[in-house]
Amino acid sequence: MRLKVPATVFALALLAGCGPAEAPKKAADPYDPSKMDLKPLPAKVSSERHTGPFAAGDALSMDATVKPLVPGAVKEIRLDTTHKVIELAPGVKFSAWTFGNQVPGPTVRVRQGERIKFTMTNRSDEHLPGVQVVAAPMMHSMDFHAAMVAPNDKYRSIAPGQTISFEFTANYPGVFMYHCGTPMVLEHIASGMYGMVIVEPRDGYPTKVDREYAIVQSEFYTKLDPQRRKVDGEPLYVLDGERVRAKQPTYTVFNGRYNGFVDHPLPAKPGERVRLFVLNVGPSNTSSFHVVGTIFDRVWLEGNPDNQLRGAQTVLLGSSNTAIVEFVLPEAGNYVMVDHHFANASQGAIGVIRAGDVPAGADSEHHNIPATAAPTDPVAVKGKLDFESKCLACHTIAGGDKVGPDLYGVSKRRSERWLARWLKSPEEMLKGDADAKALLGKYKLPMPNQGLNEKEIRQYVAYFKWADANLQPRATTQPAPAKPGTALPPNQTLSGGASLRDATRGLVIE
Amino acid sequence: MRSLLLAAALWLAAAGCGVCVEDKIAACYDHAVIERAHSRGQEVAFFALEGPFARDAVTAAKLRRQIESAPGVQAGSARVSVEIGALSFAYDPRRTNAMAAADAIEKRTGFSLGLLKVEGPGNR
C-alpha cells in the first residue's frame, strides 16, 4: 500500500530539522568596518624636492586605455603637481594645473584591500622647457576619495618645493575621484587637478570584457589671457573666475580635450564587450552619459558591482560621481559616447568608439550635433569652431530649428550689417528692430548677448556666408559640400589637422 | 595677545576641508611674496581671520590697506582671502614681530586674528 503524506506534513517535517540552532549562517558583511584598515599612519611632509618623472608607479595608466591590474599588495605611486599649458581645443592653449603633468591626471588601478603608498612633490614653481606663461606657483594638495583618512593630516596643502607622503588601504571597491583640495577648490579642479582611482573588487569583476577605457568628463571655464600672452603664436587662455562661479563653462570635454575621441576614436572590434570607467569631475555640472547605438548591459554605480543596473540607456552622474558601464558593440560602426545634456555635448563632451573597419569618408555626424563640412578660409574656420562650441545648443546649420532658428541661409535673409548688430547687442535690437521682435515672438526665447567682439563677429559672419555659399542641405542628413573640392571634411575643423593649424597659426581672437 | 594665542591654538586644532591650517595658509599664499621677503631677510606671517565680516572685494581691499599701514609690514605684501578668512603679510623682524603686527592690525580693523604660521628664511 502506498502511504500518502500530505504536502503540509512533509513541509513541516522539513522545517522541524531547521531549528534555530541550525539556521544557515548569515553571510559575512563584505563591508564590515572591523575588517577594514582604519588606522592609517601619519602623513610626512618634507622640503625634499623630487626632480625625476612627474608621475611614477606600475599602477598608473597615462591615457584612456586602462592597464590591467598589476600584482602586489602595495602600490607605490607618485603624482607631482605642475603648472603647464595644455591644448584644450584646436587653437585654445589653456594655463592648467596638473597632477602628473597631464589633464586629467593618470588613472590609478588597485585591488580592494591593497595599500597605496602615495608621494607628491609640489613642483608648480618649476619652469618647464619652453613654457614661460604658466600660473604663479602656489600651494596644492591631494584628496583621494578612495581613502578613509583624516583630511587635515593627509590632504594638507604643501608649498612649492615641498613633498608629502602618506598611505591608505583601499577599503571599498569602486571608481573614485582624486583632486586637489586646496582653496579655492573650485579653481583648482577647474584648472585641471583631478583624476580617477579604480579599486577592483577583492575577487575581481563578475564579467569578462575585451576592452577597458577610462572616461573623465570635466568642464573648463576659459577667457583670453588679460595680458594677451601667446604660446606658439596662439593666444593663451586662462581660468575665467566669473564663469566658474556662475557655472557657465566654455568647454565640457572627455579626457581633457574638446572632441578628443572624435579626432582619435577608441578602438574596438564588432561583437566585443567594452567596459568604461566613467567619472564626471564637474566641478559643477552633471553628466547624462550615454553611448549611441548600444545599451548598457550592466551599470555599476560608483564602480561597485553591488550597485547594479541592467539594460540602462544612460547613467546620470553628479559632480564626482562615477560608474562602470559595460556593453556589447553589435556590429562594425562608430558608437558615439556623449553627454546627453546636449548643451554639454556641443561644448566637446563627445567621443567615438570605433568598432572594426568603418568605411573611409564615413564621418561621424556627432549624433545630432550638426557639424558641417569645414571652410578652407581660416577666418571662417574660427567662426565654425566658435559656432560649434557656443551656438549648437540652440541652433543648427541646415539641421532644422531647435530652440533658435536654423541658421542655414541667414546671410541671405539678413544683411551683414544687421547680423553684426544682432550678434553684438541683441537686447538693443529687440527694443526697436521689427525683425528682431518677430524672432522673439516666434521662438519665445531672447538671443543671449555672448559678449562678442568685432573680430569674433566677423568670423561668425564669414562662416555663415561660407555655409550659405558652399553647403547643400540634404534634408535629414548633414549638409554636404555643394561642389567637390569646395570644403574639407567636418573633422578638419575639429581636429585642427596639420594643414589647418598652419593655416590658422597667428590668428588671435581679441 | 592672549586672544591671539588662544585663537592660534583653536585654529591649529581645527580640521576639515577649507578650514584646516594649511588650507587657510594656501588661500593667502603668494610664492612671489615669500621669495621676495626671504631675499630681504623678512618673515611672512599667516593668520586666520575671525568674526563676522562682509566677504567681498571691498572688505578685502580695505583690509589690505590697513595691514600694510601697520608698522614694519612690507608694502605690497598683504594677501587676503575673505572667502576662506585668512590673511598674510611680510614684515621686517628687526622692526616688529608677528604678534605685535597682529595687535596693530586688530586695533585698526576690529577683527580678531589667529596666528597660523610664521615663515622665515630658515624655517620654510
Domains of chain A and CATH, by start: 35-203 (2.60.40.420), 215-355 (2.60.40.420), 378-504 (1.10.760.10)
pLDDT of residue A467: 87
Q: Is residue B12 part of a domain?
A: yes
* Contact assignment for A156 to B124 by CB distance below 8 Å: no
Is residue B52 included in any domain, yes or no? yes
Q: Which long-range contacts (CB under 8 A, 24 or more apart) does A400-406 make?
A: A401/A443, A403/A443, A403/A445, A404/A443, A404/A445, A404/A447, A405/A439, A405/A442, A405/A443
The answer to whether residue A102 neighbours chain B at the CB level (below 8 Å) is: no
CB contact under 8 A, A156 and B20: yes
What are A278's strand-pairing partners?
A: A215, A323
B5: enclosing H helix or E strand? helix B2-13
Nearest chain B residue to A162 by CA: give it.
B124
What are the cell numbers at A133? 606663461
Nearest CA in chain B to A160: B31
Residue B13 has pLDDT above 70, yes or no: no
- pLDDT, one tens digit for every residue, chain A (510 residues): 344 444 444 444 444 444 455 566 778 898 999 999 999 999 999 999 999 999 999 999 999 999 999 999 999 999 999 999 999 988 889 999 999 999 999 999 999 999 999 999 999 999 766 556 677 899 999 999 999 999 989 999 999 999 999 999 999 999 999 999 998 899 999 999 999 999 999 999 999 999 999 999 999 999 999 988 888 888 899 999 999 999 999 999 999 999 889 889 999 999 999 999 999 999 999 999 999 999 999 999 999 999 999 999 999 999 999 999 999 999 999 999 999 998 888 888 999 999 998 764 455 444 444 455 677 677 887 888 788 777 776 778 877 777 788 898 999 899 999 999 999 999 888 888 999 988 888 887 788 888 888 888 998 999 998 888 877 665 444 555 556 566 665 545 543 333 333 322 222 222
Residue in A136, A160, A183 nearest the CB of B23? A183
At residue B73, the pLDDT reads: 97
CA distance B71 to chain A (A): 27
3-state SS, A29-90, equals CCCCHHHCCCCCCCCEEECCCCCCCCEECCCEECCCECCCCCCCCEEEEEECEEEEEEEEEC
Helix (H, G, I), strand (E, B) or coil at A370: coil
Q: Is residue B83 part of a domain?
A: yes
* A127–chain B Cβ distance below 8 A for any pair: no
pLDDT given at position A488: 60
Q: Is A160 on the interface with B (CB under 8 A)?
A: yes
Beta strand A115-121 with A143-144 is: unpaired
Return d(Cα A442, Cα A160) in angstroms, integer. 57
pLDDT for res A292: 95
| Separation between Cα atoms, residue B124 and residue B112, nearest integer Å | 25
Closest partner CB to A138 (pick from B21, B29, B124)? B29
Nearest Cβ partner for B17 among A124, A160, A181: A181
The pLDDT of residue A472 is: 67
**Cβ A156–B16 below 8 Å, yes or no?**
no
ipTM surpasses 0.90: no
DSSP A326-348: EEE--SSEEEEEEESSHHHHTTT
In chain B, which residues have their Cβ closer than 8 Å to the Cβ of A140? 26
Instruction: Give residue for cell 601697520.
Output: B70
Q: Assess contact for A146 and A40: CB atoms under 8 A.
A: no
Torsion of CA A147, A152, A153, A156, to 10 degrees: 90
Q: For B39-63, what is the mean pLDDT?
A: 92
If we measure between CA atoms, which residue out of A96, A133, A223 comes closest to residue A510? A223
Q: Minimal Cα distance from B22: which residue of A?
A: A157
H or E, element range at A94: strand A92-99
- B124 to A136: CB separation less than 8 angstroms, yes or no: no
Q: Residue B46 maps to which CATH number? A: 3.30.70.100
Torsion angles phi and psi, residue A350, rounded to 5: -155, 145
Give CA A452 to chain center in angstroms.
26
The domain of B11 spans 2-119
Nearest neighbour of A139 by CB, restricted to B15, B17, B29: B29
Interface test with A, best of B11, B22, B88 (most A CBs within 10 A): B22
Nearest-neighbour CA in chain A from B30: distance (Å): 7
Residue B25 lies in a domain: yes
Chain A residue numbers touching B32 (CB-CB < 8 A): 136
Q: Do B29 and A185 touch (CB under 8 A)?
A: no
- A316 burial level (CB within 10 Å; 0-12, 13-18, 19+): middle
Residue A402: predicted pLDDT = 73
Q: Which of A160, A161, A183 sits opposite B84 (nearest CB)?
A: A183
Q: Which residues contact A408 (CB under 8 A, 6 or more apart)?
A: A396, A397, A398, A467, A468, A471, A473, A479
Task: Dig out the grid coordinates for A250 from the structure.
Answer: 566654455
What is each CA distance from A253 to A197, A204, A338, A374, in whole angstroms?
Answer: 19, 30, 10, 21
CA distances to A215, A439, B88, B91 from B65, in Å: 47, 51, 13, 15
Taking CB atoms and an 8 Å cutoff, what residues of chain B touch A138? 26, 29-31
In a domain? residue B24? yes
List, in sequence order, every residue forming a beta bridge with A110; answer none if it has no partner: A199
Domain count, chain B: 1
Question: Which residues of chain B have a Cβ shorter than 8 Å from any chain A Cβ?
Answer: 14-18, 20-27, 29-32, 34, 81, 83-84, 124
- Which pLDDT score, from 0 to 100, does residue A443 have? 84
pLDDT reported for residue A234: 84
Question: Is the Cα torsion angle A252, A253, A258, A262 positive or negative in sign?
Answer: negative
What are A98's strand-pairing partners?
A82
Q: Please report whether residue B65 resides in a domain.
A: yes
* H helix or E strand, kind and range, residue A422: helix A416-424
Q: pTM for this one?
A: 0.73
Q: With a cut of 50, say whether residue B10 has pLDDT above it.
A: no
Q: Is residue B124 part of a domain?
A: no
For residue A136, the chain B residues in CB contact (below 8 A) are 30-32
Which parts of chain B are beta strand (E)?
Answer: 43-50, 79-81, 86-91, 112-119
pLDDT at A41: 95
> Residues of A with CB below 8 A from B21's CB?
152, 156
For B60-83, write each residue's pLDDT tens digit: 999 999 999 999 999 999 999 998
Residue to test with chain B: of A182, A187, A242, most B Cβ within 10 A: A182
Q: Does A138 touch chain B (CB under 8 A)?
A: yes
- Cell numbers found for residue A39: 588606522
A interface test, pick of B29, B44, B79, B123 with most A CB neighbours within 10 Å:
B29
Instruction: Mark yes or no for CB contact A136/B27 under 8 Å.
Output: no
